A and B are shown apart, each in its own frame.
Chain A
Amino acid sequence: MKDATISLPLAGSHLKSSSRRRAISDVTVAPPAVIQAMQLTVVVFLIASWEILARLGILDPFFWSMPSTIALRTWTFLVTGELAGDILFTSQATILGFILGTCLGGAIGLSFWWSHAYAKVVEPYLVTLQALPKIALAPILILALGIGLLSKVAIAIMLTVTVTAIAAYGGVKSVDQDLQKMLYSLGANRWQVFSKVVVPWSMPWIFSSLRINIGLALTGAIVGEYISSRRGLGRMIVNASMLFDMESIWVAVFTLCIMAMLMYWFVAVIEARLQAGVGASTR
């Protein structure tokens, strides 16, 4: 017993010294500030190299332009308010298409719960539609719905609806049969099982399609504008390319970059909120 009490502190100090050694599997985590600084460095490096290479003539400034002139052009567009109108138009088409496409897709996917036969009949068509390069149908939608906002929204819906429908159907298929059985045993009708189990159960599947859809909706809006439009950033790119106005193309591209980033971030925040809500609603 006495031996043990003497050897204990020794064993302790031995452990302490060996714990300073770092195991190879230990994950080292860099502080967020360092990560952000490094990310910023990459952007600065890329833009600086672009500017330098263009000024040295290694990159042909006629095709590739250069950051300083692009910045100047952006400033002009901002001051004249030209850019704002295009941003508004493209955003409108994107957001409307995103919301409508996602809701419609969710409704379609959830509806498959109601009838096995109906789901089985429709499923192959849905999968085919999903695999189809739906952009090919865009000219038809433009011809049918005109060159205004409506046709852009329609293209965005067309691109997003199948994604959510398939995601929601995945949720519906995975609903715990015993949960449904439990609810039926409590005397629930089908509508109650649907609204109290199937819908909340499938929500995470629907939410997981949001981030894919926002990108697709933006693509849909831009493609619609490429084909025919009077406004929008897509239209701006097509117009500028016909005039070999590289600066304007780049302005539009960077604007789209920022829009895509903002929308993606916004949707990611909403998704996180919704997912937490499904896990945390009190009632």
Chain B
Amino acid sequence: MLEIRDLSKTFVVAQGGIVQALTPTTLEFPEGRFTSIIGPSGCGKSTLFNLIAGLSSPTTGVILIDGEDVTAQAGIVSYMLQKDLLLPWRSILGNVILGMEVSGIPKSQSVPKAMDLMQRYGLGDFAHCRPTQLSGGMRQRAALIRTLLYDRDVVLLDEPFGALDAQTRVTMQAWLLRVWQEMNKTILFVTHDIDEAIFLSDRIVVMSARPGRVKTVLEVALPRPRDRHVFTDREFVRLKGYLLDLLAEESPDTEDIQPAMMTASA
């Protein structure tokens, strides 16, 4: 289980001001569950992910995995960003084994493993293609397979489908659900899309900006496996209405303004 306790991050900006990107937050992410994190810009979603991924150090608090302190350690969880970030000079195969390559796993082991996963999830024919030869959806698949092949229990997905068109996005959501159910990972999923959050998640963490904090955590009581009929389910519609109200309180007309700045008192 992934736990965060009193985790916070404060940035010092020019002229001695400070920005509280994330106020002390405590959350638990039980094993094998799918949690979405939703909220306006500046609510600390990305900060939270960077902290959990160990790419930045928290101002306060700790990150625990199965009770073990992993604060500020990179490489403990898998992390996928919105951009596919495939290396253009490598083939798709060369890209997806990158995580294993970095861990020093020899190609004789990593390549069969990668080929197996690519076959299973619809990328087998593209193994020797360049990233530029693939569509946006296929590139995201490759990026996700790279993330999954870096075999960690916790997977962070930062708006992985944010740049895709609506049609591809729906396909990819169903695909992700299939992958998740077969691989039994703990997924944390950042999104701006309410439909996506409800469709995919067991639980939705609603965050709020200025300063970034957790507003509400709600359970999604929709049965699995889910398909497109979920979108018209009464519970789905109820949750959607509730979430829309919650996010509307975040006054959309100020959404694009920088996070609140507070003068340092200390």
Contact = CB atoms under 8 A, between A and B. Distances in A.
Interface of A: 176, 178-179, 181-188, 192, 196-197, 200, 278-283
B99 A187 contact: yes
Nearest to A179: B85
B29 to A, nearest CB: 17
A186 B81 contact: no
Given A282-B94, A282-B128, A188 B89 contact: no
B99 A186 contact: yes
A179 B95 CA distance: 12
A89 to B, nearest CB: 39
B88 interface: yes
Nearest to A185: B79
A186 B90 contact: no
B74 A178 contact: no
Contacts of B101: 196
Contacts of A283: 90-91, 94
A178 B83 contact: yes
A178 B84 CA distance: 10
A185 B154 CA distance: 12
A112 B55 CA distance: 22
Contacts of A282: 90-91, 93-94, 128
B87 interface: yes
Contacts, number: 62
Query: What is the interface of chain B mostly: helix, strand, loop, or mixed?
Result: loop
B81 A181 contact: yes
A117 to B, nearest CB: 19
B130 A279 contact: yes
B224 to A, nearest CB: 28
Contact of A196 (B54, B98, B128): B98
A187 B53 CA distance: 10
B98 A186 contact: yes
A70 to B, nearest CB: 48
Contact of B89 (A176, A182, A183, A281): A281
Contact of B98 (A178, A183, A278, A279): A183
B89 A185 contact: no
3 pairs of A and B residues whose beta carbons are closest in the complex: A187-B75, A185-B79, A186-B99
A184 B74 contact: yes
B258 to A, nearest CB: 20
A185 B53 contact: yes
Interface string B42-83: 000000000001110000000000000000001101110101
Given A185-B74, A186-B98, A176 B85 contact: yes
B161 to A, nearest CB: 17
A183 B80 CA distance: 10
B102 A187 contact: yes
Contacts of B87: 179, 196-197, 200
A226 to B, nearest CB: 42
A278 B232 CA distance: 49
Contacts of A179: 85, 87
A178 B81 contact: yes
A182 B85 contact: yes
